[in-house]
Structure 1
Amino acid sequence: MREGWKDVKLGELFKIGSSKRIYLSDYVDKGIPFYRSKEIIENYKGEDISNELFITNEKYEIIKDKYGIPNENDIILTSVGTIGIPFIVDKRKFYFKDGNLIWLHCGNSKILDSKYLYYFISSNNGKAKLDSILIGSSQKALTIEGLKKIVINLPPTETQRKIASILSGYDDLIENNLKRIKLLEEMAQQTYEEWFVRMRFPSYETAVFDENGLPEGWEKLKLGDLCEKIFDGTHDSPKQTESGFKLITGKHLQKGKVDFETAYNISEEDHFKIKKRSGLVKNDIMYSNIGTIGNLSMVYEDFEYSCKNMIVFRPKKNFEYFIYTYLFNENTKNKILGEASGSTQKFISLGYIRNYDDIFPTIELISKFNEYCNSIYKSINNLNTQNQRLSEARDILLPRLMMGMIDVSGSSAQLVESLETKPTETKIIPLEQPKKEASKEFKEAVLIACLTERFGSEKFPLGRKRYTKLSYLFHRYSDNKIQDYLRKAAGPYNPKTKYGGPEKIAINNKYIQNWKSDNKLTGFVSAEKIEDAKTYFSNYWQISNLDWLTAEFKFKSNDELELLATVDNSLLELSKKNLEFTSSNVLDIIKSEKEWEAKLERTIFSDANVERAIGFLRGVLEYG
């Protein structure tokens, strides 16, 4: 046995138990979250809770006082159905269902690191040990008494922490990528809503609308009119094999990605049989139509797999991102779900989907939207691919660390560098990028360039008034460094960007260039070395902060940006003075500033707009 490692039963390390019974009559509309196995699994996967349940705060406090509640770093483990999914308790308040979940009171253990136990449970060795103690024939179950008897080969505490830290590094990178994916998806949805729900599509100002309020050229079409074909997955039930090709069903489609980990393999013969009828190609859109209706994912992988229990859309060229975003939209989901048949298990037929019709934009506008979303969805696909490779690298590393095959006495960086199995072809995006020394002016030049790349175009170059508000909001979110922003007439304004060098640096370095559009608009567009600026950006800030700014403010007008920046600056003052965040208090501050007073004569600074701005800002920014 490795030096310092010892075999210990879990029951000797900490208490193992469950929760107090919560009845259906205890559920309420709002209160303390209540988790069943389903919610624990969603937490484990980093997903939003799909079906929120609650108990009252009073019930929670009674349980807390009488019986105790999970402490931070305890582990909740699924014990029926999908068995052995661990969730490390964080700071949030919640309670959980008895019977289906087991509570490991390991958060305060002095000889066991919770994260080490989490990764042990996730390892093949840990899963095998759990499988060996399951009871039941038709429905397997994990028991408290069985768990107590599991023997774990435990290294010294410091070694546990190092192993957990190394593995957590991979999971942190994956989590960061998932956050970026969510922001990008929100950006695509906001664009869809802006163009096709609020009707503010490009050149909408000059569009002709009919008596029904629809733009000229929009018409009722079937979904099939926008696709080369619509078909379903196999109806066969091929046997599971140890190796071969993955069989993906509707349940494996999870909010824009495929859960390959829980899918089983089928033989090469069965795969090619399915492929003849229901073969998938890149940019096909898979759509779950049984049980949970409306989950979808686009095919982008470089490897083949088969599909079952789903509908597949093969969009016409340059329609794929429009159709995907259309199907992803909540309005569409609700329309389709309203026609679902089945009482115990909802179902949407292939025939219904093929004949489903709606009002769709012109081909030209669909193509424009598709072009706009191209970079968004390519980024999402790249991040999903990156996460898949990170997961594979972590899973190869996991058993080697758990078995003591790798010496972790050195630093994590040295260890990962020395490993034979490292993530390949994966550009890792760290959560906290290293901050290299650079002047404030150069950093601001880099920010201006990246704002120009995100918010400017040859048709609508990024003007100074707009980028200064965007840079203010970016700094408020990312580092709160807004000392240089003065209360000038156009709102918080940093004169140093123009006169202190950043604009000149960005232009001289060919990150941006001055531009005048065909419709006489002036501002900045990206220049030939914009990629250099984007590389520098990742040295100073997190890319996810820029994703957030784009998602929240891409379609705000200049007046709206001025309102939000001005109100935010006023709220900061109210916060320092411990005054209420009311529209009257904000307007009093604006009135007290000589260069701001004229704002009050403009409609955008009405009481109602200021009130809405306060509500919006409190949801996206932090105040002391």
Structure 2
Amino acid sequence: MNSAKNITELKLPRSSDKWAKYKLGALAEIRSASRVHKEQWTEYGVPFFRTSDVIAIHKGKQNNKIFISKELFEKLSNKSGKVKKDDLLVTGGGSIGVPYLINNNEPLYFKDADLLWLSCNDMLYGPYLYQFFLAPIFRRYLAKTNHTGTISHYTIEQAKATPITLPSLKEQQKIAEFLTSVDKKISLLTEKHFLLKDYKKGVMQQIFSQQIRFKDDDGSAFPEWEEKTLRSLFDWIRTNNLSREKLSDNVTALQNIHYGDIHTKYHSQFVQTRENIPYVVDAEIDKLVSQADFCKNGDIVIADASEDYADIGKAIEIINVKEGTLVAGLHTYIARPKNKFASGFLGYLFQFNGTRRQVQKLAQGVSVLGISKGNIETIKLSVPHIDEQQKIAEFLQSLDKKIDAVNDQIEQTKLFKKGLLQQMFV
């Protein structure tokens, strides 16, 4: 993609006198649907969209699909009309102003009040309007004008009053076509990212269940794996009890791993310089050093609390850390290997579904789950020879590099598109 050339081409219409300002209500019919009651939902038939469906599609995720009968669709459509290709549905409640572009003329109905229905006249091209709803200028408009209470709203009247600037219809089509091609690239990269992650998950299952075995450099087989308890492999190292209030983004001499960040953002292969780690406030550093030990390369840091089973006992391996600069805090355990492991291997072993299932079975609690050191110590781990550990870690790290590279492409392409939207819709 020749980004500079494409940006130049898209900027040219801004210098012409063909761009004009309008209110959206002058360019599109904006309305909602007839009421559909929950008891009228079915498991098959005509797709029935809610806000959650539009949000899921926007995020590239799946949502539980809902339908209504063909008979009900025809009855309601006779009153309110039928959506057609290039019409838009826009969320009016909750996460407001998120668009969905209708891409065919197949039967589709939607929830009243939750979604606004926009049908463009012959001055406005639907795919161009879709891109407008994604642009920063529209998001700023929403922030200034939406009705906020317990839930935000984007109403039909607000939609009609929304300002929009247009070039000629031909130029709208050109702009929309290019931006759609960028969207397609993002979609393809996202699919590639998903497939790589799915492949990694599958191959990890095969490796740690020993369906796949590596061989030594001379072609000989490695020794059989040994099953050991976590208690026999690790010692516990002291942590601290600092809450978020004692942490800051302001740089100090000491960084702190918070259990919530293990849940949400840290790589299982933890490299200090790569992660966004909060700092301990100066007032806490001196007393903290006497109460907790520093993290070292090879340590496993485990989150001992969570609100759900997906994150309970989630763990990271410290791969690279500057000595004396990192501690682990509230609701974490540090497990330090008694003997040497290949760098990176343990991070993957603790990600393995077999290990995760053992952890989840040991979790206790109702609204908040917890897991004790005593219970964690009973977990059984199958451990290969250190040379096979090294080959496993190197193979999975090579997959992670590919996954990260694709993710970087996705983010760069999104940033590129954001720049285009910023320049085009001003």
**TM-score, structure 1 normalization:** 0.47
- Post-superposition Cα deviations, 1:130-180, rounded to whole Å, max 9, x if no partner, equal 223311334322111111111211111122222223333332222221111
Q: Which residue of 1 aligns with 2:61?
A: 47
1:348 corresponds to which of 359, 369, 373: 369
2:381 corresponds to which of 360, 367, 382: 360
1:84, CA displacement in angstroms?
2.1
Give yes or no for the alignment of 1:201 onto 2:212.
Answer: yes
2:103 corresponds to which of 62, 87, 90: 90
SS in 2 for 1:103: strand
Structure 1 pair 251–221 and aligned structure 2 pair: CA distance change class (3 A): closer
1:188 corresponds to which of 194, 200, 204: 200
Give yes or no for the alignment of 1:36 onto 2:59.
Answer: no
Q: Which residue of 2 aligns with 1:119?
A: 131
Give yes or no for the alignment of 1:384 onto 2:407.
Answer: yes
1:392, CA displacement in angstroms?
1.9
SS in 2 for 1:236: helix
1:182, CA displacement in angstroms?
1.1
1:4 corresponds to which of 7, 10, 18: 18
* Contact 1:220-1:358 within 8 A present in 2 as well: yes
Q: Which residue of 1 aligns with 2:244?
A: 235
- Post-superposition Cα deviations, 1:346-376, rounded to whole Å, max 9, x if no partner, equal x433758983854332143554432222221
Q: Which residue of 2 aligns with 1:175?
A: 187
* Contact 1:194-1:200 within 8 A present in 2 as well: yes
* Contact 2:359-2:379 within 8 A present in 1 as well: no
* Contact 2:147-2:153 within 8 A present in 1 as well: yes
Residue 318 of structure 1 aligns with an amino acid whose one-letter code is: G
Q: What is the CA–CA distance in structure 2 between the aligned matches of 1:363 and 1:48, rounded to whole Å?
A: 38
SS in 2 for 1:11: helix
Q: What is the CA–CA distance in structure 1 between the aligned matches of 2:358 and 2:108, rounded to whole Å?
A: 29
Q: What is the CA–CA distance in structure 1 between the aligned matches of 2:240 and 2:42, rounded to whole Å?
A: 42
Q: Which residue of 2 aligns with 1:318?
A: 344
Matches within 5 A, 1:201-600: 201-202=212-213, 217-221=226-230, 225=234, 235-236=244-245, 253=264, 271-273=278-280, 289-290=306-307, 293-294=310-311, 317-319=343-345, 322-323=348-349, 325-326=351-352, 329=353, 332=356, 336=360, 339=363, 341-342=365-366, 347-349=368-370, 351=372, 355=376, 358-364=379-385, 366-403=389-426
Q: What is the CA–CA distance in structure 2 between the aligned matches of 1:361 and 1:168, rounded to whole Å?
A: 49
Q: What is the CA–CA distance in structure 2 between the aligned matches of 1:223 and 1:62, rounded to whole Å?
A: 68
Q: What is the CA–CA distance in structure 1 between the aligned matches of 2:43 and 2:101, rounded to whole Å?
A: 26
Q: Which residue of 2 aligns with 1:25?
A: 39
- Post-superposition Cα deviations, 1:455-485, rounded to whole Å, max 9, x if no partner, equal xxxxxxxxxxxxxxxxxxxxxxxxxxxxxxx
Structure 1 pair 182–103 and aligned structure 2 pair: CA distance change class (3 A): same
1:76, CA displacement in angstroms?
2.3
Q: What is the CA–CA distance in structure 2 between the aligned matches of 1:248 and 1:128, rounded to whole Å?
A: 34
Q: What is the CA–CA distance in structure 2 between the aligned matches of 1:286 and 1:14, rounded to whole Å?
A: 54
1:129, CA displacement in angstroms?
1.6
Q: Which residue of 2 aligns with 1:135?
A: 147
- Post-superposition Cα deviations, 1:593-616, rounded to whole Å, max 9, x if no partner, equal xxxxxxxxxxxxxxxxxxxxxxxx
* Contact 1:75-1:103 within 8 A present in 2 as well: yes
Residue 186 of structure 2 aligns with an amino acid whose one-letter code is: I
Q: Which residue of 2 aligns with 1:434?
A: none
**TM-score, structure 2 normalization:** 0.65
1:186, CA displacement in angstroms?
1.6
Q: Which residue of 2 aligns with 1:433?
A: none
Structure 1 pair 340–38 and aligned structure 2 pair: CA distance change class (3 A): farther
Q: What is the CA–CA distance in structure 2 between the aligned matches of 1:251 and 1:64, rounded to whole Å?
A: 49
1:40, CA displacement in angstroms?
1.9
1:6, CA displacement in angstroms?
1.5
* Contact 2:236-2:334 within 8 A present in 1 as well: yes
- Post-superposition Cα deviations, 1:403-448, rounded to whole Å, max 9, x if no partner, equal 3xxxxxxxxxxxxxxxxxxxxxxxxxxxxxxxxxxxxxxxxxxxxx
**Larger % of strand: which?**
2
Residue 74 of structure 1 aligns with an amino acid whose one-letter code is: D
1:29, CA displacement in angstroms?
5.0
* Contact 1:250-1:309 within 8 A present in 2 as well: no
Q: Which residue of 1 aligns with 2:171?
A: 159
Residue 336 of structure 1 aligns with an amino acid whose one-letter code is: Q
SS in 2 for 1:191: helix
SS in 2 for 1:391: helix
1:282, CA displacement in angstroms?
12
Q: What is the CA–CA distance in structure 2 between the aligned matches of 1:86 and 1:200, rounded to whole Å?
A: 46
Q: Which residue of 1 aligns with 2:28?
A: 14
- Post-superposition Cα deviations, 1:189-230, rounded to whole Å, max 9, x if no partner, equal 221233345x413179x999xxxxxx7512343799599999
1:14, CA displacement in angstroms?
1.8
Q: What is the CA–CA distance in structure 1 between the aligned matches of 2:296 and 2:112, rounded to whole Å?
A: 44
Q: What is the CA–CA distance in structure 2 between the aligned matches of 1:232 and 1:168, rounded to whole Å?
A: 49
* Contact 2:89-2:99 within 8 A present in 1 as well: yes
1:37, CA displacement in angstroms?
2.8
Q: What is the CA–CA distance in structure 1 between the aligned matches of 2:361 and 2:349, rounded to whole Å?
A: 17
* Contact 2:47-2:66 within 8 A present in 1 as well: yes
1:291, CA displacement in angstroms?
6.1
Gaps of 5+ in 2: 1-13, 250-257, 269-275, 289-293, 320-327
* Contact 2:95-2:152 within 8 A present in 1 as well: no
1:381, CA displacement in angstroms?
0.6
Q: Which residue of 2 aligns with 1:533?
A: none
* Contact 1:250-1:289 within 8 A present in 2 as well: no
The structure whose RCO (Cα within 8 Å, separation 6+) is larger is 2
Q: What is the CA–CA distance in structure 2 between the aligned matches of 1:309 and 1:94, rounded to whole Å?
A: 50
Over aligned residue pairs, what C-alpha RMSD do you find? Answer: 5.2
1:122, CA displacement in angstroms?
1.8
Gaps of 5+ in 1: 209-214, 241-246, 258-267, 301-306, 404-624
Q: What is the CA–CA distance in structure 2 between the aligned matches of 1:235 and 1:160, rounded to whole Å?
A: 48
1:32, CA displacement in angstroms?
5.3
Structure 1 pair 293–233 and aligned structure 2 pair: CA distance change class (3 A): farther
Residue 114 of structure 2 aligns with an amino acid whose one-letter code is: N
SS in 2 for 1:105: strand
Q: What is the CA–CA distance in structure 1 between the aligned matches of 2:84 and 2:245, rounded to whole Å?
A: 47
Q: What is the CA–CA distance in structure 2 between the aligned matches of 1:138 and 1:101, rounded to whole Å?
A: 18
Structure 1 pair 391–29 and aligned structure 2 pair: CA distance change class (3 A): same
Q: Which residue of 1 aligns with 2:10?
A: none
